[in-house]
Chain A
Amino acid sequence: MNISFSATGTLWQIDIYDQNLPRNTNINQDIVDFVEDFESNFSRFRNTSFVTSLAKKEGTYSLPNTAKKLLDFYELLFDLTNGLFTPTITKSLVSAGYDKNYSLTPQKKLATPDDWKNITYNQNSITTTTPTQLDFGAAGKGYLIDLVCEFLTKMGVENFCVDAGGDIRLVGNKPLVIGLENPTDTSSVIGTINIQNSSFCGSSGNRRQWGKYNHLLNPKTLTSPKNILSTWVLSDECIIADGLATSLFFVEPNTLQKYLKFEYLILYSDFSIDKSDNLSVTLFN
């Protein structure tokens, strides 16, 4: 069974491999509603989200119970990358043109990010001392994929794949062969990987680029990385695979490997690669 819909700025495809589905005949709608609920809470493009409230005015705002884990993970990556991975990249991205209208017209001088330390939070609420613009694009989708997988598991589905625009989590005993998209020619792949019961995320600036910028922006140099074309990360949880795929554009893998369990592949602008020792992958050359 296949469930397809648009959400979080991309196309979601959920494949259920179980022969006997649970008695819930509304899986399709339940999933779409679940994703929509998350997006309305976390997207900076939605008026209903706490992200939008924080951007407009200082104060304390209530959090959905799923928020803390995401915030904790952003806090961890912020610390590990010395702030190169930050949820406050929004202000800079918007000044580069990646705003809610997709104006894609950069200002001459980009804005510097807000200070992540303006923000404190706990399980139930989040407080900012001054209006602060956040964005959870880097790891939010991966996290949502994990939540959707939990949702399906709770429903009794055992073998399935959740694919949100190429960020993938596979649950159960069916393996998949995934092609590694060539960012300079999306009709081709530079290799393939076999995965089972894992999360796999890819990141690249190729689809969201305009002028000298793409949606990956270094908060300190206020430029988009040019030396790396694509990154891919394999991990148990999709929140990790997604967040690290972005982080690897800005820091060396070994700064992250001490704290998180993952395998990676990096494609550089000269088409050379770097990969972790235990990544089992087929590359074309």
Chain B
Amino acid sequence: MEEQTTQQNNKTLTGVAIFAIIAILAFVLNNSKPETNTLQTGQSPQQIITPTPSTSESTTLVDSQIADGVYEATGEYTSPAGPEVVPIKLTLKDGVIESIEFNQKATNPNTIKFQGMFKEGYKTLVVGKKITDVKLDKVSGSSLTPKGFNDAIQKIITQNT
């Protein structure tokens, strides 16, 4: 595995490049799972932050010829609160992003909030759908409770209100 640091080959990614990578990351994550896995991921992570690119340098983004390895980069952008950094470490294997680590280094409260929202965006979050809207044979969760237990709970609720 190669370690490439920003110093080594002068590939400082601009803020714009970072978020383009994230968009590609989302695309890759949605399409890289094997067929047996029917997990449906949700929306790709939203680009919450709108950076002002500090240079007009155009950089080649994800190149399918990029070698396997661990890549570290620091995106820099200017938020309304001032300059911010986004350090990212990602692992590439066979042209696919295997893992990504995002270390939040912000101190400005809004930046912390927006970067936090971004970080949450690439965890799969689920929501409930009404049972009446889904075709089911059975439901699995905790075991249904017997009347004795339900009565005991009711007694506690009554005692405490």
Residues of A bordering B, CB below 8 Å: 6, 9-11, 101-104, 141, 161, 163-168, 176-192, 200-208, 210, 230, 232, 267, 270-273, 275, 277-285
Contact = CB atoms under 8 A, between A and B. Distances in A.
B36 A166 contact: no
Contact of B144 (A166, A190, A279): A166
Contacts of A285: 40-42, 124-127
A183 B37 contact: no
Contacts, number: 152
B157 to A, nearest CB: 10
A172 B121 CA distance: 41
Contacts of B146: 6, 9-10
Contact of A183 (B36, B124, B142, B151): B142
Contacts of B135: 177
Interface string B124-161: 11111111101111111111111011011100100000
Nearest to B123: A272
B126 A207 contact: no
Contacts of B40: 282-283, 285
Given A189-B128, A270-B125, A277 B143 contact: no
Contacts of A205: 142
A163 B141 CA distance: 12
B37 A279 contact: yes
Contacts of B152: 101-104
A181 B129 contact: no
B1 interface: no
A178 B127 contact: no
B81 interface: no
Nearest to B129: A284
Given A104-B152, A280-B37, A281-B39, A181 B126 contact: no
B144 A277 contact: no
Contacts of B143: 9-10, 141, 164-167, 207
B89 to A, nearest CB: 20
B154 to A, nearest CB: 11
Closest 9 CB pairs of A and B: A181-B141, A188-B128, A165-B143, A102-B152, A182-B128, A285-B42, A202-B140, A204-B142, A10-B143
B128 A190 contact: yes
Contacts of A204: 141-142
A281 B36 CA distance: 9
Contacts of A284: 126-129
12 contacts: A10-B145, A10-B146, A163-B138, A177-B138, A178-B140, A186-B141, A188-B128, A191-B126, A201-B140, A206-B141, A271-B127, A285-B42
Given A188-B131, A189-B131, 14 more contacts: A102-B148, A141-B143, A166-B144, A178-B136, A178-B138, A181-B139, A181-B142, A187-B131, A200-B140, A202-B140, A205-B142, A270-B123, A271-B127, A272-B125
A186 B143 CA distance: 12
A69 to B, nearest CB: 22
A177 B132 CA distance: 14
A180 B141 contact: yes
Contact of A188 (B36, B129, B137, B151): B129
Contact of B139 (A6, A101, A179, A271): A179
Contact of A275 (B39, B137, B145, B149): B39
Contacts of B148: 102
A271 B145 contact: no
Contacts of A232: 140
B148 to A, nearest CB: 6
B126 A210 contact: no
A101 B156 CA distance: 13
B38 interface: yes
Given A272-B125, A277-B37, A165 B144 contact: yes
Given A9-B146, A278-B36, A178 B141 contact: no
A101 B149 CA distance: 9
A230 B41 CA distance: 19
